Amino acid sequence: MTRKTEKTDYTVQRQAALSGCRGLFLRPGGGHLLETADFAADGFVELLTRLVETAVPQQLSALPETGREIMPADLANELARKFDAGKFASRLLEALFWALTRNHVLPSALPPEPDEETEFLLEQAAAILNFPAALAAAVPQGAGNWSPGARAILRSIPPVTTGREAAERIAAGDPFAGGRAFRYLDGRFLPATLEKIRPVDHFFGFPSVRRIFHEHFRDFARGKECVPLLISSLPGHGKTQLTIAHALAHENLTLILAAAEMLEQPLEALIEALRQRPDRRFVVFFDDINPESLDWYTFRTNVGGTFSPPGNVLLAIAGNYEFPAEILSRGRSVAFPTFDDVRCQEMVEDFLKMNGIRHPNPNLISLVAAEYTEEFGQKRYTELSPRTLMRHLALYEHDQRRRRDAIQLSCGPMVTKPDAQLFYEFNIRLMRKLYGNEYIENLLKEKLRAME
């Protein structure tokens, strides 16, 4: 009698979980069948749903007659192979979190009295949460086709009693909890480890560029809808560092790092996933873009075309090349000026001011900049760029004797200046390598016209 009651209880719990899967994980397909609405490429939701569908009581200990029929144990064993007990629990909570937000229910911010639709969805989520423990209890001890790992993952999910308790548990599945920077990969948002990023007040020179960055990110952080920021410069000018620094400078912004290919077909899925999180504001950063190698159709459709990104999403796209006109018209362009001897000295001056010298001596500025170009000539640095200049200036930050010697030399009768021709030749070589000879010829023609 007890065994029959257990089977009956399990049957009821499985039916409830099956209903939950249909409501949260499945959607009408192109034909007459439902298809899995999965957000990730690892197959977790598909495997879990198939396990619920196949795990009828009579199949829990039976072996297939044909030898090839997929049984519940096969699906549970595959889940255990791909996800250990800890990962299984976190992936289930993440999947349920995604499913609820897709239905406009945010588990971490439920109203005091949820409406009937929300209560219904939470009950479905609770039924799915309760299924693993029910299945673990229903599998006979002597069923040898269930691996120890499969039994372990099923036991890793404690059951819940109410929809609100389920919501409190599922809130831990928020992929953005406990972090500020994430990578978007295969439909999932994974925590990103960033190299040391300078604070925004430790960027020097390029005042017009820094002003645009400051205004754009400030406005977005204050709740304004902002068009995409389209950033271009030669390599090493600080596009990546400056973008990340401004995103992290505002506590209410979450940074998403996305690969260049995400600007194509996956862009719609990425934007839709972020649209479901109106509680957060996102900066989606596409770095190192080559505009000519991309198909911009999806971007043009979703930005200023048929659709528009939600107001809580700011796209920032950076590359070493100029953006085509039809893309520039959909955003705000910020182009770094070429790094030359004048801008090198501007950066040195800003650096000295930040380090306590309110009115730097022009000779001191010139001397530090000249020393940098001399060390480039001696192959200490491989490029003339703000990136390597910052490495050079760091030597002064950590060497008091070097600072004292520079100040003494700047008071002498003769002070060297940075070689302007060295910058010119380096930039021409770099632009020829990146853009080709035709670009250089057109650039020279423009300069000749300006001289007429």
pLDDT, mean of residues 192-209: 92
Residues linked to residue 399 through DSSP beta bridges, in sequence order: none
Residue 1 has pLDDT above 60, yes or no: no
Confidence of residue 142 (pLDDT cuts 50, 70, 90): confident
Q: How far apart are CA 397 and CA 147, in angstroms?
A: 60
pLDDT, mean of residues 347-366: 90
Cα 168 to chain centroid, rounded: 26
Query: What does the pLDDT look like over 387-399, one tens digit per residue?
Result: 999 999 998 888 8
Residue 452 has pLDDT above 70, yes or no: no
Q: Supply the DSSP string of 42-100, one letter for each residue.
A: S-HHHHHHHHHHH--GGGSSPPPSSS-S--HHHHHHHHHHHS-HHHHHHHHHHHHHHHH
Among 322, 320, 438, 446, which residue's Cα sits nearest to residue 383? Answer: 320
The set of residues, in sequence order, having a beta carbon less than 8 Å from that of 386 and lying 6+ positions away, is 204, 205, 206, 236, 237, 238, 339, 347
Report H helices in 341-417.
341-354, 362-377, 386-397, 400-410
Among 39, 46, 49, which residue's Cα sits nearest to residue 17? Answer: 49
pLDDT, mean of residues 364-370: 92
Average pLDDT of the chain?
90
pLDDT, mean of residues 57-65: 81
Strands (E), 62-214: 181-185, 188-191
Amino acid (1-letter code) at residue 334 = V
What is the per-residue pLDDT for 451?
Answer: 62
Residue 429 has pLDDT above 90, yes or no: yes
Query: What does the pLDDT look like over 230-255, one tens digit per residue?
Result: 999 999 999 999 999 999 999 999 99
Residue 413 has pLDDT above 60, yes or no: yes
Residue 422 has pLDDT above 90, yes or no: yes
pLDDT, mean of residues 176-200: 91
pLDDT, mean of residues 95-103: 95
What is the per-residue pLDDT for 448?
Answer: 65
Query: What does the pLDDT look like over 257-281, one tens digit per residue?
Result: 999 999 987 898 899 999 999 999 9
Q: How far apart are CA 450 and CA 139, in angstroms?
A: 83
pLDDT, mean of residues 301-310: 79
Two structure tokens written together for 347 = 């950066």
The Cα angle at residue 26 between residues 148 and 39, in degrees rounded to 5: 75
Residues linked to residue 35 through DSSP beta bridges, in sequence order: 27
Q: Is 224 exposed, middle or buried (0-12, 13-18, 19+ CB in 10 A)?
A: exposed
The set of residues, in sequence order, having a beta carbon less than 8 Å from that of 335 and lying 6+ positions away, is 209, 231, 232, 233, 322
The Cα angle at residue 148 between residues 143 and 151, in degrees rounded to 5: 75
Query: What does the pLDDT look like over 309-347, one tens digit per residue?
Result: 899 999 999 999 999 999 999 999 999 999 999 999 999
Q: Is 436 left (phi over 0), alpha (psi -120 to 50) or beta?
A: left
What is the per-residue pLDDT for 34?
Answer: 86
Backbone angles phi, psi at 289, to 5 degrees: -90, 135
Is 316 within 8 Å of 229 (Cβ atoms)? yes
What is the per-residue pLDDT for 29?
Answer: 78
The Cα angle at residue 152 between residues 148 and 157, in degrees rounded to 5: 160
What is the per-residue pLDDT for 37?
Answer: 85
Residue 223 has pLDDT above 90, yes or no: yes
Which contiguous run of DSSP H or E holds residue 298? Answer: helix 297-302
DSSP, collapsed to helix, strand or coil, labels residue 190 as strand
What is the per-residue pLDDT for 405?
Answer: 80
What is the per-residue pLDDT for 308?
Answer: 79
What is the per-residue pLDDT for 2?
Answer: 38
